[in-house]
Structure 1
């Protein structure tokens, strides 16, 4: 069974090789934020979601258990750099700035950006309708950056409110303090499916992009990166990824499994 830590963990230690150290411990220590359904979230105190299922399979292939460290999203990547865990297992959008600082695994999800609104709100029927209106985004997320860039094309621009955690952003949509919140299309589709008080605003906007898992960009992480990519490719090819996508997203999400796509931004 996975172990979840809700407080800052001690650094994983001085690592000659991240994968070798993980095997010596018998566990892979991963950082995440359990507020990103259906990729990763909590059912009571139990980690569940697409990412949870996939990394559990991959870690088992390596003879490892998974230890989870749950942090606010804005703290996850800095904690990775501070060596608080071996890698991040959370839907993280691949972009050029991040690729300069981190290794990314093969894609594990779609990251196209969309908006979610209160169901039945006829004032927002397309993304452009947020012009001049308050709209939420999650601090540190690529979806926030895309929202800011999209807003700059509107006249007048949207009034963007920044939140620590998507849960707070969604709550303000329902409370009427904002008219919409940004997120990745798969996450928002799942949100609207499980909570009918929400509705996805279509079409999505911004450049097509993908989500993957980041590791520190250092030689010590390369063996772990190779092992994780081997697992992702294996389960993509043998149909298990498709099975998990249907389980958690309700539909297949075709993904490249031979290389990390070059990001558009």
Structure 2
């Protein structure tokens, strides 16, 4: 639902490979798909992959004796590439949804997110006017934020124009030039963009409690879930996970791992590979 809603009428780079220093078990590195334009989870800076998901995956690989390479793909290509076995896992901050659970298998969840409504820093919009009344709203095409806007605004005949973007950086740039009235993105991405000095501000929160996890091909044909789950637990218990999160998102609260997971995720039914509650 929308918090701080004060009026009725609105429903609340580059492509490269970087290997970890860990030893592979079978000689072949795992190919981890990322969207390297999604701070603070995955991005490129000075020619190197950085971000919460990047560093966490490196730590998991080292813990489990694996080797991993990161492959940057546009967001709309990531899930199809994994479903077809063109990559081995997906490590960008990936929201768990029922539709995705039908074509992917998920690790134990390591994060939960809400979404934020962003406007330009000098905008007069509030959370109501940003999402109605002829506003043009941007979100990443295929992302859960775009799907929420489509289902809760466009499909309910709220007077908005919804635009899909390949990444949120471009959407926020269009917000600054006046091509958009609002952008909806995850809380951690919104906070990261503000911390980096983008001239934007948050006018409202869409409370989602959306779990995020790593993903592998449906059926886990390479048997990765047990190692991924064990590695996630180990870096959490060692404190390494908290250090990684705070490096990229100092204001973030560290959630207990695992966070909650919806019942529709088949790969999270007892016994969970590599994890004993």
TM-score by length of 2: 0.80
Alignment of 1:45-194 (within 5 A): 45-122=47-124, 124-126=125-127, 129-131=130-132, 132-152=134-154, 156-194=158-196
Tell me the distance in 2 between the aligned counterparts of 1:189 and 1:116: 10
Tell me the distance in 2 between the aligned counterparts of 1:162 and 1:69: 23
- The structure where helix makes up a greater share of residues is 1
Name 1:42's counterpart in structure 2: 44
Deviation of 1:74 after TM superposition, in Å, equals: 0.3
Alignment of 1:155-234 (within 5 A): 156-202=158-204, 204-221=205-222, 223-234=223-234
Aligned residues: CA RMSD:
2.4
Instruction: State whether residues 137 and 160 of structure 2, in contact with CA within 8 Å, keep that contact through their aligned partners in structure 1.
Output: yes
Change (3 A) 1:198 1:47: same
Tell me the distance in 2 between the aligned counterparts of 1:198 and 1:234: 37
Name 2:248's counterpart in structure 1: 248
Measured against aligned partners, the alpha-carbon deviations of 1:179-235 in whole angstroms (never above 9, x if no partner) come to: 111111111111111124121222x114321221111111424x3111111111122
Instruction: State whether residues 93 and 209 of structure 1, in contact with CA within 8 Å, keep that contact through their aligned partners in structure 2.
Output: yes
Instruction: State whether residues 32 and 71 of structure 1, in contact with CA within 8 Å, keep that contact through their aligned partners in structure 2.
Output: yes
Instruction: State whether residues 112 and 210 of structure 1, in contact with CA within 8 Å, keep that contact through their aligned partners in structure 2.
Output: no
Tell me the distance in 2 between the aligned counterparts of 1:43 and 1:263: 38
Measured against aligned partners, the alpha-carbon deviations of 1:26-67 in whole angstroms (never above 9, x if no partner) come to: 522111110000100000210001111100011112223321
Instruction: State whether residues 109 and 212 of structure 2, in contact with CA within 8 Å, keep that contact through their aligned partners in structure 1.
Output: yes
2:224 is paired with a residue whose SS is helix
Tell me the distance in 2 between the aligned counterparts of 1:73 and 1:150: 22
Measured against aligned partners, the alpha-carbon deviations of 1:92-132 in whole angstroms (never above 9, x if no partner) come to: 1111111122111122333311122211212x222553202
Change (3 A) 1:206 1:75: same
Instruction: State whether residues 88 and 215 of structure 1, in contact with CA within 8 Å, keep that contact through their aligned partners in structure 2.
Output: yes
Tell me the distance in 1 between the aligned counterparts of 2:100 and 2:215: 9
Tell me the distance in 1 between the aligned counterparts of 2:105 and 2:159: 34
Instruction: State whether residues 114 and 210 of structure 2, in contact with CA within 8 Å, keep that contact through their aligned partners in structure 1.
Output: yes
- For structure 1, list consecutive stretches of 5 or more residues without a partner in the other structure: 8-21
> Which shows bigger deviation, 163-172 or 183-192?
163-172
Q: Does 1:6 align with 2:21?
A: no
- For structure 2, list consecutive stretches of 5 or more residues without a partner in the other structure: 1-12, 17-23, 265-277
1:23 is paired with a residue whose SS is coil
Tell me the distance in 2 between the aligned counterparts of 1:196 and 1:59: 33
